[in-house]
Chains A and B, each alone.
Chain A
Amino acid sequence: MFLEILFFIFLGITLGIISGLLPGLHVNTIYLLIPLFSAFFIDLNISVYGLITFIISAAITSTIVDFIPSIFLGAPEEATALSVLPGHRLLLQGKGLEALFLTTSGGVFTTLLFFVLTPLLLFILPIIHSLLKFYIAFVLLVICFFMILTEKNKERIFFSVLVFLLSGSLGIITLNSGILPENFVLFPIFTGLFGIPTLLLSLKHKSNIPPQEEVIFNTERKLIFSGSIKAFFASILLGLLPGVGVAQATVLTQELTKKKDPREFLISVGGVNTAVALISILSLYTVKRARSGAAIAIRNLLENFTIYDILLLISVSLISVGISAILTLYIGNKILKFIQKFPYSKISLIILILLFFLCFIFTGLNGILILLVSTSIGIIAPLSKIKRSHSMGVLIIPVILFYLGINF
């Protein structure tokens, strides 16, 4: 069984790299295929733990690799959306590889923290969850007000509220309307809110990727540790509050600790992205809830998540994070060299066309319509110089309404 599990870890890592590199192909979409092939898996005499290992390693790997298209191509997913701006900034300073190094470091060190602090999580998660569950809508509202007030300027606050409400309306209209299948609807929304605006602006400014530094730079250990610790605690918040994305959890933590170093921010985003995947699976044991596509897929395979399953989660995560971190830096380096050979505006244009094409393939004309609307909302934030995280109203407002008992 040991060798079988190792085989599935490598298979999961391979899938995680593919889904991480391809903008728009979320690893959750691939989990949908598992039940369709279950008879085939059984025929191959694959144990349920082989499948669970595969799911965990794919999920963890994609959280590390996701940042390659997010930073280098400006094509993010929900979780990596906020890395686009600071990541791009470093890219335009010739430090694209450093940006990737920072998000990867965040992923590795936050996973190590998760490994050390899992006993604490097993103890505190159920307590915090039982305290919070009746006040979720209220807590979310407070977080939203707090996020808007961080803009500290009347004009920016106005545009923040506007973006928050517009994106919230988009969420109300699209998320439960059945206009697109549940697993695909987020693709045009997040591509439009976060990805396309970055690409359009880089086209407008005709930005080029300057020569990139190949030697890595020393990042202070203190910065990596503090970024990872913040990421860890932010992911606890995220693991318990539905609707709060990786972006909010990170920004909130940064704001609360009053530090806005873009490097630390990238470490935290990288860390939160991986830790959230871990905590969402751990929630199967602590609060008996599935908070991610991976957790839902595991719950379908395993009725009871036991302490040995937690140890399996930890061991598979450590192996996957270690291997995928090394591969991410290697692949990232190759991709960065490749894209430097072409004018960045041409690459942006190709990625734009690719995103529209993928959107059409996965979601059809309805998806293209959602993509256009969400792009119109998403571009307000960079043009008004406000935080893009206000666009996360697309998830938060529907969740607040749900917890207030208002259903559309």
Chain B
Amino acid sequence: MNEKNLRNTAIITSLVGLIILFFVVSNLKIKEREVSSISTDDINNYIKTCGEISERKISKNGHIFLKLKERDASINAVIFNSTAQKIKNEIDPYLIKKYDNVCVYGKVNLYNGNLEIICNKVEFNKNVP
């Protein structure tokens, strides 16, 4: 085995990795949680949660503040303007209305003593008609 053999092995190794990655990517999922089960243990964790929009506000800076409700539990979610602009091609978050059923992806954060989700992706809940 010499340097050339090692280099060839390294290239093949990388290519095998790329092929596996190509097939794995579509199956990567973030942990889905019910709104009622989100707790302070989840702070800094990335999760997906679904529910109905019970409140919706847009600040002057274009940040979107949502309250997500599921049965008796609720949690705040925020979509920052910069995020909203980036995900506009998939779903325009400014079009989300009260009573819409959505799923949000993001990091759980503690803000002013309350839990909230800083969203980096939003989608309409396909399981709710």
The residue in B7, B11, B13, B16 that gathers the most chain A C-beta atoms within 10 A of its C-beta is B13
A314 in contact (CB, < 8 A): yes
Q: Choose among A219, A302, A306, A329 the residue that contacts B46 (Cβ–Cβ < 8 A).
A: A302
A126 in contact (CB, < 8 A): no
Q: Once bound together, how far apart are the Cα atoms of A319 and B21, in whole Å?
A: 9
A101 in contact (CB, < 8 A): yes
User: In the complex, which residues 67-91 of chain B have their Cβ closer than 8 Å to any Cβ of chain A?
Assistant: 80, 82-83, 86-87
Which chain B residue lies CB-closest to A224? B1
Residues in chain B near residue A226, CB distance under 8 A? none
B13 engages A321 (CB within 8 Å): yes
User: In the complex, which residues 22-40 of chain A have their Cβ closer than 8 Å to any Cβ of chain B?
Assistant: 35, 38-39
Q: Which 5 A-B pairs have the closest CB atoms?
A: A318-B17, A322-B14, A319-B17, A315-B21, A48-B46
* CB within 8 Å for A219 and B1 given contacts A42-B107, A108-B13: yes
Q: Once bound together, how far apart are the Cα atoms of A38 and B17, in whole Å?
A: 27
Contact with B along A99-115 (1 / 0, CB 8 A): 00100110011011001
| Chain A: minimal CB distance from B17 (Å) | 3
* CB within 8 Å for A45 and B86 given contacts A5-B21, A309-B28: yes
A300 engages B45 (CB within 8 Å): yes
Counting contact residues on chain A (CB < 8 A from B), the size range is 35 or more
* CB within 8 Å for A312 and B24 given contacts A219-B1, A220-B1, A303-B31: yes
User: In the complex, which residues 302-320 of chain A have their Cβ closer than 8 Å to any Cβ of chain B?
Assistant: 302-304, 306, 308-309, 311-312, 314-320
A43 in contact (CB, < 8 A): yes
Q: Once bound together, how far apart are the Cα atoms of A115 and B25, in whole Å?
A: 17
If A217-B2, A309-B28, A311-B27 are given as contacts, then 11 extra A-B residue pairs at C-beta distance below 8 Å, sorted by A number, are: A2-B25, A44-B82, A47-B121, A112-B9, A302-B46, A303-B42, A308-B29, A318-B13, A319-B18, A321-B10, A322-B11
A329 engages B45 (CB within 8 Å): no
B interface size (C-beta, 8 A): 40
Which chain B residue lies CB-closest to A104? B6
* CB within 8 Å for A1 and B28 given contacts A42-B107, A45-B87: yes
Q: Once bound together, how far apart are the Cα atoms of A38 and B121, in whole Å?
A: 15
A221 in contact (CB, < 8 A): yes
| Chain B: minimal CB distance from A152 (Å) | 33
* CB within 8 Å for A218 and B2 given contacts A39-B118, A45-B87, A302-B31: yes
B54 in contact (CB, < 8 A): no
A46 in contact (CB, < 8 A): yes
